Structure 1
Amino acid sequence: MTAASDRETELGLRRQVGWLSALLGNLAYHLDDRAGARTHLTLAGALGESIQEPALTAWASGALAMVATARCDWHHACQHAQLEVTWHFSLGSDTDIELDPRSPRDNPDWPATGGLVHRNHRRPARIATSYPKLLRVEGRDIHVVDLDADEGTPVIDLAPVFQEMLPRGTLHQPEWPTDMLRDYWKHADERP
């Protein structure tokens, strides 16, 4: 055997043990053995990271958040959950949909683009996605920061964000969104 085949065998065994541990963690959770579930899922996550298996790492992390939530251990649940929130521009109007090319914010310095390029209430389905940070959970109330929606906005779905499921590689975009959104997260009083 060569060193390369030894390494390949080792990675294969770690992958199998990782997924087996993830399945045992899932079984332990459903058998109401929360400590066993945490142990197996933590091992699965560590093995996933050690062999650079994103699917295993993400699966174990999501399952750990589920176990922590079931125990009402919000601190640990929050460690596993940066959220993706899909919501509806409920204050918009179906009569204000804009598909024709126009310059963002009517700024002639930025190119005219079609309605599907814009991320505002004038999109055909009036649906948006945000990536807020989960602060805490109190009963059925979820407290977040950086959810760029108005008070009372209907939430369609929320899910944990895993690094492995975000776009791969370098994000490419034109210069105008950076220019337009430079002060996006500043308080309204601080914006130019």
Structure 2
Amino acid sequence: MSSLPNVGWWIFCFVFIWERLKAQGAEVQCSPGDAVGRQHPVRGLLERFQVGRGCTAREQGNKETHVIALQRPTNSPGNMVTVFLKPLTLSSAPLRTLHLVLSSILPITWWLKAELLPPDLPVFVQVSPNSSVQSQTLHLHVQMVHSLPFRLHALHRWALKHHGNLSSLIHTRQGNRVYIRLGEGEPLRNYTILEKV
């Protein structure tokens, strides 16, 4: 007989909590007519980080070469892909001359952004003829390469033939941001964001 009042108590608690949750849910629901959109001050951004196929290594010599192959951008206005360049460490060691190989099947506008890089760092870029490269902070030397392959093994052989060695190579179907860490140290960890919603 003593368990019967406990059952009543649990039912009361359950109903009370259920009604509270229903009331709170009703307070935060938005109708399609509400003024929520691009102008609203609170917006969400979902990004998924994923490493594409490729490799990293310690490239010897006075330069470092990073190869990026991207089939198409993801949800990007103007087919823009941003490449973020940042030193691996904040030490005072001088950075080596930077070579970027940017291969794509579809036309892409590659936008290079630098963080904590010296303004006089030489940046040489080889790009597929259907794409373009821009930067507000870096002094670029851009070369269109009509014979630049896209397939992974062919691109790897091409890059080794023309550059002798590679610091990193990433090959992925889609993405809209690529992060490259520059300088010597542990093997470089470069990655792309494959989805931006």
* TM-score, normalised relative to structure 2: 0.21
* TM-score, normalised relative to structure 1: 0.22
Structure holding more strand per residue: 2
Structure holding more helix per residue: 1
> Which of the pair has more CA radius of gyration?
2
- Whose RCO is larger (CA < 8 A, sep 6+)? 2
